[in-house]
Structure 1
Amino acid sequence: MTQQAEEQPPGQGTLVYDLVTRKVGAYQDKTGPYVMLRPVGGGREWQADPARIRPATAAERLSAEVRAANDRAAQGAVIAPGADLSRPPAPVPGCATCAELAGQREAAQAEFDRSKETDANVLMRQHQRREHCG
């Protein structure tokens, strides 16, 4: 389903899927007849037809976030000192994002999908570094 002109536009930063470019982008704003989207993880914005975007699915969001994490790692992102990468990260009690990522990890484990399990662990570590450290 595509976004209808009479609907409210997504909030700034909301991840949407551009049906034309087949990419997930963070909604920025509307300029003239187009909306501006930015790649997950940053980069050059692009214009999209508002009738040809839709909310990104959970799988599309996860894929885009993992791709951005891999890009940052390839550019030399630093692992936190003392991080034990041999064990999966534990969710922080009371944190909705940690709980959601732990749920994604558990679903991947139930499906025996080690790739998705690893993706959820990577995203949880990044989230915890951003939101729960120093």
Structure 2
Amino acid sequence: MECGAFMYDKVACVVGEFRGSVGPYAMLRPVGGGREWQADPAALRPATPEERLSAGVRAANTRTYTRIRTVDPDRPPTPVPDCGVCADLAVRRRQARACFDGSAETDANVLLRRHLRQDHEEGEEEPVTA
């Protein structure tokens, strides 16, 4: 087996990328990255093109979903236009920032994120900019 080859683990029923051998075990990593696992070399076979494609699509979907669902804590939440609660929390945040009160500014951001998630159902779907 060559390093980087895609192998199907019959025990785990999953495709992994061969990373090397440690003692009597083969080390596999999930397609797209992740925590390696040990596999019995006798339980491995080369992955079929369909299995490789399926594993690649699954990894791409996971990356996309993770990027969309992750809130960037360094980016302040954006208030929804024409929402009184959002506007009040944005004013609170602005006033805290003007007074150099980082704690109050963080509190306003937390309350705004909670309000967005509960009342607008969008607080967790802020895209992360790389």
Partner of 2:62: 71
Partner of 1:22: 13
CA distance in 1, matches of 2:55, 2:48: 11
- Amino acid of the residue matched to residue 27 of structure 2? M
Gaps of at least 5 residues in structure 1 are 1-9, 78-134
CA distance in 2, matches of 1:71, 1:51: 29
Query: Going by fraction, where is helix more abundant, 1 or 2?
Result: 2
Task: Tell me the TM-score normalised to structure 2 length.
Answer: 0.51
- Amino acid of the residue matched to residue 72 of structure 1? R
Query: Which secondary structure does the structure 1 equivalent of 2:67 belong to?
Result: coil
Partner of 2:26: 35
1:59 aligns with 2:53: no
Gaps of at least 5 residues in structure 2 are 69-130
Q: Which of 1 and 2 has greater Rg?
A: 2
RMSD: 0.9
- Amino acid of the residue matched to residue 4 of structure 2? G
Sequence identity of aligned pairs in percent?
Answer: 59
**Which consecutive aligned stretches of 4+ in structure 1 deviate over 6 angstroms post-superposition?**
none
Task: Tell me the TM-score normalised to structure 1 length.
Answer: 0.50
CA distance in 1, matches of 2:46, 2:38: 16
Displacement of 1:67 = 0.1
CA distance in 2, matches of 1:56, 1:23: 9
Displacement of 1:11 = 1.0
Displacement of 1:75 = 1.6
